Amino acid sequence: MSQYVSRRGSSRVAPRLRFPAAFPGGHRKPRRIAMLSVHTSPLHQPGTGDAGGMNVYIVELARRLAAINIEVEIFTRSTTGGLPPVVELAPGVLVRHVDAGPYEGLAKEELPAQLCAFTHGVMQAWAGQGPGYYDLVHSHYWLSGHVGWLAAQRWGVPLVHAMHTMAKVKNAALAAGDAPEPAARVIGETQIVDAANRLIANTAEEADELVRFYDADPGSVAVVHPGVNLDRFSPADGRAAARARLGLPKDALIPLFAGRIQPLKAPDVLLRAVAVLLDRDPTLRSRIVVPVVGGPSGSGLARPEGLQKLAARLGIADVVRFQPPVGQEQLADWFRAASVLVMPSHSESFGLVAIEAQAAGTPVVAAAVGGLPVAVRDGVSGFLIPGHDPQAYAQALARFADSPELVARMGAAAAAHAQGFGWDTAASATADVYTAAMHEHRRRVRSLHA
């Protein structure tokens, strides 16, 4: 059991806190919200740079919120010149580009210095509207949280924040050679947790981490599982057809990595596991293809060709195919084509890619970290591996190589499991969190003026 200190200063024991899936909404839901995504645009291609699962999360959530009559305006930093100030992403969803710092060549680590400029841009957009234009601020990631904190105070509205990843959690599970998150981020996240009216966690474990590491008030934390676009990510016309479209061998064992290439995501573990697998059974070499779909990101940018060089050193360059990031439609085809998705991440707040692959009918072999034990049903829709030993991953891959029918059986179970993660459900639960935050905020304001 874990110890944590409450905000009142008393030490308590918290074996496993119960967090609401959402806050039941018996009051008015918001008409329009300001959503903040400072460091990455919802219009960017996931899988490269700083664009990943959070981008997908924001886009899909915003679309579904608009579908239930909650307008969403997403503020993000301009990263190229000449962008239109406002872009309609979907009916009821606007993306507002804010000038803050140089357009290009600014690393995420340098963005804290631009938060004042970004906040100024947000305030300018708000100033052109009437009073009460936004009912609520929903910020994503700690950089956005600081802007959201100030905006919510200025506008007199509640702040709802989603961490997505947390510095203390990442630092507790660093990949070899990866740099720890800076103290400034830890301090910033602590301030946001204290300032937010509501915190949205992807899983109960993430909710526990907010309380354990950041002293969050358990009553302010709601668990809302991210969703998956079940129309886009589906088994469709099957594995054979997807392989034909992508030029992949019909009967090959295809373990896939899809995501940002950086130590945190541990794509090297997959390559090392494949080397172990081929060392045990050299006959597999003629019938294995290992696609790596994604681009360098984060600390991976320091060695953008590091993974290619590792494949060469391991003697498996002939079976590994490096593919640049692709759009969501083609990504769905890569998932369908794969025998198994491999996610050896050191940390994942949820692991949206795992749900997307399962929805496409593909089992997953993943590290038993963060939200992945929620995303993957161990032994049913895939296998969860404790730790990051390539030998253990090789063992799991060998099960699919030795029993090809396991791909079809677990793939069917994976598709069924993913049906429980639709975005409509996630949007409805998020709207309940908004409603509860607004109700409590109004109650506090009334009590202050009573």
Name, in order, each residue with C-beta under 8 angstroms of 120's C-beta and a sequence gap of 6 or more. Answer: 100
| Known binding-site residue numbers for 1D-myo-inositol 3-phosphate | 39, 50-55, 108, 141, 165, 185
| Known binding-site residue numbers | 39, 45-46, 50-55, 108, 141, 165, 185, 260, 265, 326, 335-336, 338, 348, 356, 362
Name, in order, each residue with C-beta under 8 angstroms of 369's C-beta and a sequence gap of 6 or more. Answer: 173, 345, 346, 347, 348
| Known binding-site residue numbers for UDP-N-acetyl-alpha-D-glucosamine | 45-46, 53, 260, 265, 326, 348, 356
Cβ burial 227-243 (10 Å sphere, 16+ → b, else e) = bbbbeebbbeeebeebb
Whether the Cβ atoms of residue 228 and residue 355 lie closer than 8 Å to each other: yes
Specify the length of the chain in residues: 450
**Integer Cα distance of 206 and 369 in angstroms:** 11
| Known binding-site residue numbers for Mg(2+) | 335-336, 338, 362
Whether the Cβ atoms of residue 246 and residue 258 lie closer than 8 Å to each other: no
Whether the Cβ atoms of residue 341 and residue 233 lie closer than 8 Å to each other: no
Tracing tokens 């085809």 back to the chain, one arrives at 333
